Amino acid sequence: MAQQVKVPTVGESITEVTIANWLKKDGDVVKMDEVIAELESDKATFELPAPQAGILKITKQQGEVVSIGTVICEIADGAASSVSATASKPTVTVTAPSTPASKPMQTTGAIKEMKVPAVGESITEVTISTWLKKEGDFVKLDEVIAEVESDKATFELPAEANGILRIVAKEKTTLPIGGLICKIEVTDGAPAAVAAPAAQVPAASATATSNVSYASGTPSPAAAKILDEKGIATSQVAGSGIGGRITNDDAVKAQASAPTKESKPAPVLAPPVITSGGSRTERREKMTSLRKTIAKRLVAVKNETAMLTTFNEVDMKPVMDLRSRYKDQFKEKYGVGLGFMSFFTKAICIALKDFPAVNASIDKDEIIYHDYCDVSIAVSTPRGLVVPVIRNAESLTFAQIESEVVRLAGKGRDGKLSIEEMTGGTFSITNGGVFGSMLSTPIINPPQAAILGMHNIVERAVVQKGEVVVRPIMYVALSYDHRIIDGRESVSFLVRVKELLEDPGRLILGV
């Protein structure tokens, strides 16, 4: 009896997966619990084991996007006899499934032009990150042929017809939405090499080729892109995936070692006169789409807003004493550490209610006031700065805020943040103190009107009640858009944050 194999539930927020790779072919004999395929979601790659022994019948092809619970293959009984027969013979015969004979491929004369699709309201251009197919390759309908990268995320590009691929835009080319990427010479039928049945092969060889379809050290397309951005050769990375494949996590964790032959310094125009030892090599790297977009947005903010910055200092001793007193119980109860970010987030949410202009934004000739606090947290990643959003932070507890910070920061560093998680936000926090910054003027994250900069905590001599005492002091900075926030409001907002942090009991009572 044939058993249907469905896409399993792989996470609460995951509704569909892509069949990344079939490790077995249609008609192969599989064993129970043997991995037969890899499924890829927007967050991770999962292995699919066979629920029983038998003969594999594939119903969904590699590259297809399927919903949770969809039947992707069937396993028919009959594995026992097939396995025993294999053991007693030096070779096995792998035959194609019993389908009508494939007709030879013929071009129809039609040309399918593939253009850059609309991938988001604010996205106006993309970069061709990686071609997964070569010029002249035969491609199938809905087969993923390339990866395109915007300033926010990477998208897969499926073929829009069966036929021969003709590439128009090379890798690293930037195209506007609607720009021509490639053409497909539409064909009727498939190439003979695709339609031909497999021949007899030695048993050991058949087993090896059916289990691994890529060489050790081969990166996935997304992993290859990350390594390319880091300037790290694949030979320097040990793959942890099946067959030694380099996964996204391997690429994210990879560190550059000594320069290899892949690292090509830029040509030197004239030989310099060197009087002492030391290297004088240089290298050039093309800016990623994310880095170029960050650069454009930063310049635009400076040019399009009336940005000013006001400063203050906060005595962090009350907060530090409270953390020291309760951090162990907090961690034991909630499973997450008690950091400074939750104190600052709660203080900001209270202050934003008192000064709504700081929580506002400009839309043409209108000011939009928000009665909620969606707080953006700046996170530094290997690819650049990303700003995920904590939604309705004003209604969250300390533990919920800390959990969201850990979750979003982890996804940001792993390159797994969705566009929705980085979209919106009414106010931003950036913490340069983790890198040792004493003082800075943070840049506004448009269309928001203000951003708070945290800095390092240093013991300083201050005067309290007529006496010089040593206190752990943090300088804080508020950059704001003077078009809608007056000086009185900006200074008063920062003073309110200072008061709440220096008397953390107010945060709990909301006074």
Active site residues: 482, 486
The residue type at 419 = I
Which is nearest to 457 in space by CA: 264, 318, 287?
Answer: 318
Which is nearest to 123 in space by CA: 86, 94, 151, 163?
Answer: 151
Which is nearest to 296 in space by CA: 304, 308, 307, 285?
Answer: 304
The residue type at 331 = K
C-alpha of 139 from chain center: 27
Q: How far apart are CA 269 and CA 510, in angstroms?
A: 65
Yes or no: say if 496 and 313 are a contact pair by the CB < 8 Å rule. Answer: no
How far CA 143 is from CA of 30, 117, 133, 162, 272, in Å, comes to 25, 16, 10, 9, 52
Token pair listed for 88: 């007693």
Yes or no: say if 5 and 50 are a contact pair by the CB < 8 Å rule. Answer: yes
Yes or no: say if 369 and 303 are a contact pair by the CB < 8 Å rule. Answer: no
Please provide the DSSP assignment of 440-482 as one string: --PPP-TTBSEEEEE--EEEEEEEETTEEEEEEEEEEEEEEET
Q: How far apart are CA 239 and CA 246, in angstroms?
A: 4
